[in-house]
Chains A and B, each alone.
Chain A
Amino acid sequence: MLIIILRRLLQAVMVLLFVALISFLIFRFVGNPVESLLGQEATVAQRAALENALGLNDPIYEQYANFVWRALQFDFGNSYRGALPVAELIALRLPATLELAITSAIFAVIFGVITGIYTAINRGSMMTNFILSTSLVGVSLPTFLIGVLLIWLFSVELNWLPSFGRGEVVDLGWWTTGYLTVSGLKSLILPSITLGLYQMTLIMRLTRAEMLEVLRQDYIRLAVALGQSKRQVYFFHALPNILIPVITITGLQLGSVIAFAIITETVFQWPGVGLLFINAVYFVDIPVMSAYLLLVGFAFVVINLVVDLLYLLIDPRLRDGQLRKEV
C-alpha cells in the first residue's frame, strides 16, 4: 500500500519535471526574450549585458536546473509587460479561477450523478427521455454560445444576475473570495453553469452507462433475489461500484475546467488566470505563458494523484495490489 503511494508520488514528480522542461523550452526558445525586453533599437552592449543577467549564456542544463529551482520557490521571473513578478500576477488571479472551477465542478458532479442515476433507474420514462434529449443540446452547443445565451436571458431580459465580473470579493490576505458576499455568489452562478454544463452532461451519461452496466451484475441480481430494497440495492451495492470511472472522468474534467476556463472567463470578463493567459498570448508575454503551463500541469498532476489515491480508498482489490482481473 505504502509502496503504491510512493510509486505514484515519484511518477507525479517525473511528470512535473517533464512539464517544466517543455515550459522551460518555450521560455527559452520561443521568441527572443532579449528583443522582447529591450526592443529593436538596443545596442549590442545592452543586449550582451542582459543576456548575461538572464543567464542565457550558461550551459542549457544549468539554465534548466536554475529554472526548476526558481520555479520551486515560485519565482517565474517578471512579466514582460508591467514588469511585475509573474508569481504575484498569478497569485492575484488564481483564487478567481479556482473558485469558478470548483463551483462549476461541484455543480457538474452533483447534477450529473443524480440525473445519471435517475435516468438509469427509470429507463424509458418521460422524464428520462426529456433529460437525455436536453443533455444532447448541452453537449452540442459551444461554451461561448451557452454563456451568451445565459447572459441574454438572465442578465439582459430578466435582469436577475450580473453579466460580468466577480461582484464584491472579500480579501482574506492571501486569497480573495466571492463566496462570502451575495453579489459574489450571484456572479458565480452564470459562469459556473456555462463552464460546468458540458462536464455535467458528460458525467451524467457516464454515470448512466456505468449504472446500467453494474445493475446487470450478479451481485445486484442476488441482492434483489434476497429481497433487499431498491434503496439498498442502488446505494449500498451499485453506487460504490460506479464511483471509480466517475471519479476518473471528474478528475480529468476538473483539470480541463481549470485549464480551459479561458473561454468562459473571456465571455464573462472573469478576472482569472485564463484571462491573464489570453492577454499574455496577445503580447507574447512568455514568462506568464510558461508559468501558466506549469500551473496547469501541476493542477493535472495533483488531481490525478488524488484520483489514484481515491481508487485505493474505494477498491480493496487495488489496495492489495491486485488488478481488476475478475470483473
Chain B
Amino acid sequence: MSKTREMTAPLLEISHLSVMLKKRRDRLKAVDDLSFKVYPGEILGLVGESGAGKSMTGSAILGLIDPPLYISSGEIIFDGNRIDQNASSIRGSKISMIFQDPLVSLNPLRKIGDQLVEAIRTHINMSKAEAFDRAKTLLAEVGIDPRRINAYPHTFSGGMRQRVVIALALAPEPSLIIADEPTTALDVSVQAQILDLLKRLCRERGTSIILITHDMGVIAETTDRVAVLYAGRLAEIGETASVLNSPRHPYTKGLVAATPRIDADSYKKKLFQIPGAMPDLEQIPQGCAFHPRCDFANAQCKIQQPPLFEDRSACWLLKDGSEIS
C-alpha cells in the first residue's frame, strides 16, 4: 500500500511550514518547520495535545490565519498549485472544513436547506431548484430524512447537526476535507457513527481527509496514516498501524501507553502518564522540544533540534538507525 502511494502525486504537500504568533516584540513559533503530504483518497490523522498546532495547521491550509498569527515561511501546494498566498480560490470548492462543535456550526436562524443551497450555489453554477434537489440528495446520503430540509438547526440533535455539517462540507464535491475534532463534542456512541459516515462518504468519492484529533482511539479506527505533533513540530509520521504498534518517538510511545484499553485485566493496571506538560509557546526548550519530559534524553537532545529520520521520526535516538528500547 505504501509503495503505490509513494508513486502517485500527493494531493496536498506541505513543506517547511511555519506559523508565527506576533506578540508585542516577540515572534513565537506556533507551527515550526512542518512538512507532510496527503495523498488522494487517504485519511491522514493529525494528533497531539491541545496547543500542539494541529488546528492551526488546518487553518493555515485554508488560509484562515488572521493576525496576530501569520505564515512566516514554507509552502503549501495543492494539486500542483501553491495556495499559501491565495487560498480563497480553493476554499470550499476544493478543500472544505468541518469544525468541532456542531451545535454552533450552523446558522441558527436559517433553515438547513437554505444553508445547503447557499453552500452549493457558491461553488456550483446551478438553479435554486436544482440546488434544492441536490441538497435533498446530500441529506439522504448523510442519513437525514430529506423531508426535513425545511427544518431549523435547533430541531436536530448534536449528531444530526454534525451530519448536516458533513453534508455542507461535501456539497461542492471537494477533494480534501479538513475535519477539526469532528466528534469531540459528541457522545461516544454517536462519535463512531459520524466517523463511519465520514469515512464511507469520502471513500466513495475518493475524497481525502485530514482528521485533527487528540483521541488515539479515533486515530486507530479511522486513519490510514498519522502525524504526531508536539509543540508545533512533527514528532513522528507513518502508517497508522505501524506508528501505533511500534512507535519510534518516545512521545508517541507515551501517547500510546497513555491510551486506556478495555481488556480483561486492564482495570488492575494504572494508566501510564507522560510526566510534565507540553511547554507554552514562550517556553519551548532548546533542542528537542520534548527532551525535558523524555526518559531517554541525552546531551545532544538538549542542544540540537532533531531532523526527521527515515521519513518517520524526529528523535536523535534514531540517528544510527537504532531502535530505542
Contact = CB atoms under 8 A, between A and B. Distances in A.
B138 interface: no
Given A226-B122, A232-B122, A241 B107 contact: yes
Contacts of B93: 227
A228 B105 contact: no
A236 B110 CA distance: 9
A232 B108 CA distance: 16
Interface string A207-233: 000000000011101111111110010
B118 A228 contact: yes
Contact of A226 (B92, B109, B152): B92
A315 B62 CA distance: 31
Contact of A326 (B64, B88, B97, B103): B103
A225 B110 CA distance: 18
Nearest to B152: A316
Contacts of B118: 228, 232, 236
Given A225-B62, A226-B122, A229-B122, A327 B109 contact: no
B105 A219 contact: yes
B162 to A, nearest CB: 12
Given A222-B165, A226-B91, A241 B108 contact: yes
Nearest to B101: A218
A322 B172 CA distance: 33
A213 to B, nearest CB: 13
Contacts of A81: none
Contact of A241 (B62, B91, B109, B168): B109
A41 B122 CA distance: 84
B169 interface: yes
Interface in B137-190: 152, 154-155, 165, 168-169, 171-172
A225 B180 CA distance: 12
Contacts of A232: 118, 122
Given A226-B169, A317-B108, A322-B154, 13 more contacts: A218-B99, A221-B99, A222-B105, A225-B92, A226-B96, A227-B88, A227-B96, A228-B92, A228-B122, A237-B107, A315-B109, A317-B152, A326-B103
Interface of B: 62, 64, 88, 90-93, 96-97, 99, 101, 103-110, 118-119, 122-123, 152, 154-155, 165, 168-169, 171-172
17 contacts: A217-B104, A218-B99, A218-B105, A219-B105, A222-B97, A222-B165, A222-B168, A226-B96, A226-B97, A226-B119, A226-B171, A227-B90, A227-B172, A228-B118, A240-B110, A326-B104, A326-B108
